[in-house]
Each structure stands twice: as structure tokens, then as C-alpha cells.
Chains A and B, each alone.
Chain A
Amino acid sequence: MEIRTPSELAMETVLSVQEYTILSWEAVLNIFRKPRYLADTLLQADSIGVGSLPVVVLAGLSIGAVLALQSSNTLQRFGSLSLTGQLVSLSMVRELGAVISGLMVAGRNASGIASELGTMKVTEQIDAMRALGTDPLKKLVTPRVLAATIMLFFLTIIADLVGLAGGWLVSRFALGLDSNQYWTTAWQSLEFPDVFMGLTKPLLFGFIIATVGCYYGVTAKGGTQGVGRATTQAMVSSSVMILMVDFFYTKLLMTLMHVH
């Protein structure tokens, strides 16, 4: 491996951020430009949305169940076991539904997108597409960004629901709580800012997953090894970005909407 000086490294980083920003910006602008690739978008929506459904359902269910199980211990100490529903619902809807779905889809699709586009890049298929007069940003990137953003929104709703169901299963059968009480506290504790926060996050996360996956894909170089590297980097970077953006976005919304 060649050794690079700190200034070269810094320059490369700045250049990468610039390229990523341009790619993301173009991807958004292309939504409003012709030609639009509806069939490609639907195909991606199927692959990202329907394809990720089983893993998101399973992850949501276990997180909801574990949340109820772990919190019951603490709540019991304060004699507030009846608040389990509220705790599960607030945690799932505000935070975990979106983050868990985001991380699952990042693991599955950011890497998938990077390896698909990366292979196309190193085998000159992307150059061939440009040579044939088709814009790869419009044909490959924008459909993936649209599909990931929209589908992660719906996946998060599903994750929230099955998470609540997981919590209910534990509350009802392991903790012996009343079902009616669980669902009532779960439902009543939710307010507009909670739902708003929980449902705007997946839009950001979906956008991050697709743009990071596409960026590492279209900049891949160095044969199969390069594609492998792009795949791993796409997954790691998108996961880290999701967690970072989650923190700052949560803080921002809490300040703006006076949530406590």
C-alpha cells in the first residue's frame, strides 16, 4: 500500500465529500428532470422494500420484545410496571424503529447497491452507458435514492408496529400485564412530535443508504478487490452516518419542538 502524507489524505477526504455532495444533489435534481425511470424505480422499490421486509420484521419484533423485558426490571423497582407499553411505544416510534430498519437496510442494500454499481464501473458498463447517450445518474442513482427513501419510510412504520407487538407479547405472557392496559398506554403516550420525529428519520436514513451505496459504487476502482472494498465501505459509512445524523437530528427536533 502506498504511503500518503496527511495533507494528501486531507485533500482526498475533502474531494470525496465534495463528490458525494454533488452526486446526492444531482440525484435529487434528477427527480424533477426528464427522462424519468419509473420501471427502474419500481424494480428497486421491490428489491429494497419487499426484499428487506423479513429482516426488518424480525429485527423489530425482537427489539420490541427485548425492550419490554429489559425495562420491566427497572420499572418494577419503582412500581411502574404498567408503564411498559408507554416505554416500548416511545422508544420504538421515536428512535428504534427508524434506526433498526435503517441499519438493517444499510447492511443489506447499501452494500448491495455499491457492489452492483461497483461491478458495472470496473467492467466499464457505466462508461458504456454514457457512451450510449444515457445518464447513469438518472438511470441508476436516482431510482435507487427514490426507492430507498420511500420504502424505508414504510419499513419503519412496519418495524414500529411489530416492535409494539413484540413488547405486547412479552408484557402479556412473561410479565402478566393486561393487554388492554398495554395498548392503551402505548397509544396514548404518543404525541405529534414523537410520530413526526419517527417518520421523518427514515426519509433521511433511506436517502443516506442509497446515496452512500451509489457513491462508493460509481467511484469503485481496482477490479474485484476494489468492488469488495467499496461494498464494505458503503455499509460501514452508511451505518455510521445514520447513527450520527440520528443524534443531531433528534437534538435539533427536540429543541425545535420542545420535546422532553
Chain B
Amino acid sequence: MGTVLATPETAPNTPPSDEKTIVFDRVSIAFEERAVLDSISFELRRGETKMLLGILGSGKTTILKLALGLIKPDSGDIYVLGEHVNEMSEDQLFELRRKMGMVFQESALFDSLTVRENVAFRLIEEGRPAEEIERRVREALQFVELENTIDQFPGELSGGMKRRVGIARAIIDRPEVLLYDSPTAGLDPVTSTTIIELLVKQRDVYHTSALMTTHRLPDTLMMATHYFNEKENKMLQLPKNNSVDARTTFLLLKDAKVIFDGTVEELAASRDEYIREYFA
């Protein structure tokens, strides 16, 4: 366990580098004349995990889909890994998306394929050798602790297990950016802690940059106050003198605008009424 995709390069809880992986510059989009995002701007640095918060329908998932180029903005510019996403053709986007991983809210596993084929999908498409595919699938499934389900179909798995297979499918080719769409929505507290532990592990062991939408505050706080201890192979609370993870940041959306973008300390210090109410 834990020897999966790469070796850690930096110690836990070091701030993210200045290199930008995702940049949103005055991005606007409207659906059926209702503005969902109104000139929003933010940056995601390499190694940073940014929590996108907001009420239902506030455009959190839209941000992830825009970053992947699945939908195009009405105006503004989006850059991912240095590429100008909204200027790219669908063919160019397929190349870029291979460096990214997305975990969908309802898992979106291919229900006619087995867990093995689901997790291996990207590698099979790229025509990798069978032995490599088998090894990588097992590694990814070990990471989410679901190796025993390899020959099952998604329909036979529970909601939490599907979510974990979705994570395995997203991380199998060591993406540079991960996008999690409400990975714990609809799960019981124990299962969602398991999922959060996996995300913390991905953050601390492989230092993948990530955007994560959620409306479950306890999960975000757990992400910010815990780290993954590789020796013990489990998630632990950060020590008192260093109690907040520097790579975990928060972005709060309200009425199609960004009303907060910063660290936990900045969030705690905010005097904005809506923010205080949201986190109350």
C-alpha cells in the first residue's frame, strides 16, 4: 500500500509553488439567460487544492466543466496547464484532458464495462501493453482499496465504492490536475471520511493540483486540518502549532460572483456577513 504512483517530492504541508495550473480570467456564462458565472477570476497553483463552495446551483460544477473544456464560456479566458482552453478545438482538448482527471458526482462509470475496464479505459484507448494496463489498474485500485472488485460491474457496487472506482479511473494516468465534483455528496459520514482520506492522500503523497466542489463544510475542514501519514498509512490531524494545511484554499461563490478566495485563516478572519452565516 502507498507505493503507488510516485514518490513524494516535498514534505507535507509546504505551500504550493507559484506555477499556475488553472487560471480563470473574467469568465462569464449564462444558461437560458440566467447568469451562472459573472466575470469570475481565480488561479489554482501547482500542488494547491481549492475547495469551491456555494449553495446548490451556484455554478460550482460549471467551473469544473469549463476547466475541462466540456462547455465553453460566453466570455473571458480559461488557461489550463498553459493552454488557452476556450480557444482550443475538441481534438486539441482531448490531448489536454489526458493530463487531467475528473471525478463525477454520480461517478459516471461506464455501466456496461467491468471495474477493470472502467479504470483502464484511458490506457486501453491509448493502446498501452496489456501487462502495463493490468499492473496500473491494480495499483490504482489498491490506492482506493478496492482491488477485490476488479471483475465486478458498477451496478454491483455501493455508492461509496463507485465513487472510489471513479477516483481510481481519474488518477490512473497520473494526471497533473484533478477535478472532484462533490465527491462525498449523498454518502454517509463514515464513507465520506474514507473518500476525504483518499483525496488527502492524493494531495499529500502525489501533490496533484485539484479543484473540488462541495457543499459539506465538515469535509472541507477535514481536508484543511489533516495530512496523510505515509508511514502509518492513514490520515492524521495536523499538530496544534501548524494546524492548517497551507495547500488547501477556499473559494466561495454567491450570485454568480466570487465573494471569497483564500486560506482557512483568511476565511476565519472574514467579517463578511454571508461568509460568517455560511460557515456558522
Contact = CB atoms under 8 A, between A and B. Distances in A.
Contacts of B102: 128, 131
Nearest to B69: A130
B121 interface: yes
B122 A133 contact: yes
Contacts of A131: 68, 70, 97, 100-102, 104
A132 B121 contact: yes
Give the most central of A132, A133, A134: most B CB within 10 Å.
A132
A130 B70 contact: yes
A124 B125 contact: no
Nearest to A139: B125
Interface string A117-130: 00110011101111
Given A123-B111, A125-B110, A125-B111, A132 B97 contact: yes
Contact of B104 (A119, A127, A135): A127
Nearest to A116: B112
Given A127-B70, A128-B102, A130-B70, A135 B108 contact: no
A127 B66 CA distance: 12
A163 B158 CA distance: 51
A257 B97 CA distance: 52
Contacts of A119: 111
Interface in B63-78: 65, 68, 70
A128 B110 contact: yes
A124 B91 CA distance: 20
A133 B70 contact: no
A125 B94 contact: no
Interface string A236-254: 0000000000000000000
A133 B95 contact: yes
B230 interface: no
Contacts, number: 55
Contacts of B121: 129, 132, 134
Contacts of A35: 125
A128 B98 CA distance: 12
Contact of A130 (B97, B105, B169): B97
Interface residues of B, number: 23
A119 B111 CA distance: 10
A132 B70 contact: no
B266 interface: no
A1 to B, nearest CB: 16
Contact of A132 (B95, B106, B125): B125
B104 A124 contact: yes
Contact of A124 (B98, B100, B101, B108): B108
Contact of B94 (A120, A123, A128, A134): A134
B244 to A, nearest CB: 31
Interface string B93-130: 01101101110111011110000000001100100000
Given A127-B70, A128-B102, A133 B94 contact: yes
B122 A132 contact: yes
Interface in B44-89: 65, 68, 70
A130 B95 CA distance: 11
Contacts of A123: 106, 108, 111
B108 A128 contact: yes
A3 to B, nearest CB: 15
A239 to B, nearest CB: 27
Contacts of B19: none
B255 interface: no
B156 interface: no
B110 A135 contact: no
Give the most central of B100, B101, B104, B169: most A CB within 10 Å.
B104
A130 B97 CA distance: 8
Contacts of B125: 35, 132-134
Contacts of A129: 110, 121
Contacts of B68: 130-131
Contact of A135 (B94, B98, B101): B94
A133 B98 contact: yes
Interface in A200-259: none
A130 B100 CA distance: 11
Contacts of B91: 135
Give the most central of B91, B101, B106: most A CB within 10 Å.
B106
B107 to A, nearest CB: 9
Given A130-B68, A132-B169, 12 more contacts: A35-B125, A120-B110, A124-B108, A125-B111, A128-B108, A128-B109, A128-B110, A130-B70, A133-B94, A133-B95, A134-B121, A135-B91
23 contacts: A123-B106, A123-B108, A123-B111, A124-B108, A125-B111, A127-B65, A128-B104, A128-B110, A129-B110, A129-B121, A130-B70, A130-B97, A131-B97, A131-B104, A132-B97, A132-B121, A132-B122, A132-B125, A134-B94, A134-B121, A134-B125, A135-B91, A135-B94
Q: Kindly list the 10 A-B residue pairs having the minimum CB-CB distance in the complex, ordered from nearest.
A: A128-B108, A124-B108, A133-B98, A131-B102, A133-B97, A133-B94, A132-B122, A124-B104, A134-B125, A125-B108
